[in-house]
């Protein structure tokens, strides 16, 4: 019996000894977490506050050239198209020659201009003769006045023809150069070499659009009209460049309902300095509108999703950081609206908080 008791006691002693080796007391094993200087440098902090709650809605649309920066180019004369210097989609500068037209109308203007120059020369000689005769008392002052009036009339006629030449930039050889009135891209070309143009052609030969600013024009159905107001934020994406985000604001709402589509249009001007955006591209326009209430708002980068819950790291000091669960109302881009779990003026780790979360909770 004593041997059995001794054997049991020996086994219990060994178990206790083994347990003590593999599981040291909590007080000896636990160490308080302290955020290091290096980790502090990698983190960004955000003081919690309330902001206006916004929602968003997406519309489909198309890109259009700013019609305040477009120009249609017509021919001032009829004639034969001699040369075409640009093609569809080419970038042209203001004053650049797009095409040349040989025209009998230009020849007529050339003759009129030559006649006007000759008339001025004759009028100048007549005036000089009249003045000489008046000095010799062989004519009257009235005749000098008449000669001066004839010269003034001849100069006015020549000046008028020169202005026409300046406007249309007529050249010798009965050539009319078609020039670009603005800088931009050729978006319409309706002219061919050796084509005979009629006088006063109704169709433009070229259309030029300056697309350094372009419009995103979207369509709004009746049910969403109340969510659209001028100056609302808008984000535009295109099929051609899905990873690029173009930001703007609603500049104008066209307050007319299309009877066929039952929709209304609005436009968002976009900076297009690199000319990536082209007229008639398809696009989506996401508009953010206010819900007219305020809510706790934090950067979306501060939110950590783990174990089917949302968490944030609440920073009090480098020795006191709390992992706190929050309830989210909505995440909208780089902002997250919080229903419960945070109070105003608390500080959360807005960037690289996942590193501290892993250190504290793994």
What is the residue-wise DSSP string for 170-236?
-BTTTEEEEE-SSSEEEEEE---TTPEEPTT-SS-SEEEE--SEEEEEEEEEGGGGGG--TT-EEEE
C-beta separation of 341 from 326 below 8 A = yes
Residues 56-67+212-291, CATH architecture: Beta Barrel (2.40)
DSSP state at residue 68 = G
Beta bridge partners of 236: 246, 285
DSSP letter for each residue of 38-81: HHHHH-EEEE-EEEEEEEEEEEEEEEEE-GGGEEEE--SS-EEE
Intervals of CATH 2.40.420.20 along the chain: 34-53+294-361
Q: Which of 315, 317, 322 is nearest to 349 (CA)?
A: 315
pLDDT of the residue at 227? 87
Place of tokens 């050249």: 171
pLDDT of the residue at 59? 95
Using CA atoms, how far apart are residues 175 and 112, in angstroms rounded to an integer? 15
pLDDT along the chain (362 residues), means of 10: 43 40 37 79 93 93 92 90 93 93 84 89 92 86 90 92 79 84 92 88 90 94 90 93 94 90 93 92 93 94 95 92 95 94 95 90 78
Class of the CATH-defined domain 69-209: mainly beta
DSSP strand pairing (49-65 vs 282-299): antiparallel
Total residue count of the chain as it appears in this document:
362
Q: Which of 221, 258, 225, 240 is nearest to 63 (CA)?
A: 240
pLDDT of the residue at 209? 93
DSSP state at residue 89 = T
pLDDT of the residue at 52? 94
pLDDT of the residue at 229? 92
Intervals of CATH 2.40.30.170 along the chain: 56-67+212-291
pLDDT of the residue at 36? 86
**Dihedral angle sign, alpha carbons of residues 303, 306, 310, 312:** negative
The residues near 10 (Cβ < 8 Å, ≥ 6 apart) are none
Place of tokens 């398809």: 282
Fold held by 34-53+294-361: 2.40.420
C-beta separation of 256 from 219 below 8 A = no
Tell me the pTM: 0.61
Intervals of CATH 2.40.50.100 along the chain: 69-209
Q: Give the pair of three-digit tokens for residue 47.
A: 């003081």
pLDDT of the residue at 77? 87
Exposure class string for 286-310: b at 16+ Cβ within 10 A, else e: bbbbeeeeeebbbeebbbbeeeeeb
**Dihedral angle sign, alpha carbons of residues 339, 340, 346, 352:** negative
């Amino acid at each position: 019996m004593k041997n059995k008791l001794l054997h049991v006691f020996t086994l219990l002693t060994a178990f206790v000894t083994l347990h003590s080796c593999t599981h040291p007391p909590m007080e000896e094993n636990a160490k308080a977490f302290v955020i290091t200087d290096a980790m502090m440098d990698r983190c960004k902090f955000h003081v919690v506050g309330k902001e206006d709650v916004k929602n968003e809605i997406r519309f489909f649309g198309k890109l259009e050239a700013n019609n305040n920066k477009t120009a249609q180019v017509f021919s001032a004369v009829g004639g034969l198209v001699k040369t075409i210097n640009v093609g569809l989609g080419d970038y042209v500068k203001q004053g650049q020659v797009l095409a040349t037209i040989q025209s009998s109308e230009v020849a007529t203007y050339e003759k009129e201009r030559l006649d006007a120059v000759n008339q001025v020369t004759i009028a100048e000689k007549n005036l000089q003769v009249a003045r000489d005769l008046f000095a010799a008392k062989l004519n009257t002052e009235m005749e000098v006045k008449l000669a001066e009036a004839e010269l003034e009339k001849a100069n006015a006629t020549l000046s008028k023809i020169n202005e026409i030449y300046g406007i249309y930039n007529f050249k010798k050889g009965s050539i009319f150069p078609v020039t670009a009135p603005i800088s931009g891209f050729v978006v319409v070309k309706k002219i061919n070499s050796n084509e005979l143009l009629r006088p006063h052609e109704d169709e433009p030969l070229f259309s030029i659009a300056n697309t350094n600013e372009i419009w995103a024009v979207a369509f709004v159905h009746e049910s969403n009209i109340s969510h659209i107001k001028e100056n609302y934020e808008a984000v535009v994406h295109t099929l051609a460049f899905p990873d690029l985000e173009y930001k703007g604001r609603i500049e104008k709402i066209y307050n007319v309902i299309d009877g066929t589509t039952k929709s209304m249009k609005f436009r968002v001007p976009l900076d297009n300095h690199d000319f990536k955006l082209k007229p008639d591209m398809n696009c989506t326009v996401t508009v953010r509108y206010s819900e007219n209430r305020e809510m706790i708002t934090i950067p979306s980068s501060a939110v950590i999703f783990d174990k089917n819950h949302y968490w944030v790291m609440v920073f009090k000091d480098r020795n006191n950081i709390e992992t706190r669960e929050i309830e989210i109302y909505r995440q909208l881009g780089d902002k997250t609206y919080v229903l419960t779990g945070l109070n105003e003026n608390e500080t959360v780790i807005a960037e690289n908080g996942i590193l501290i979360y892993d250190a504290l909770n793994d």
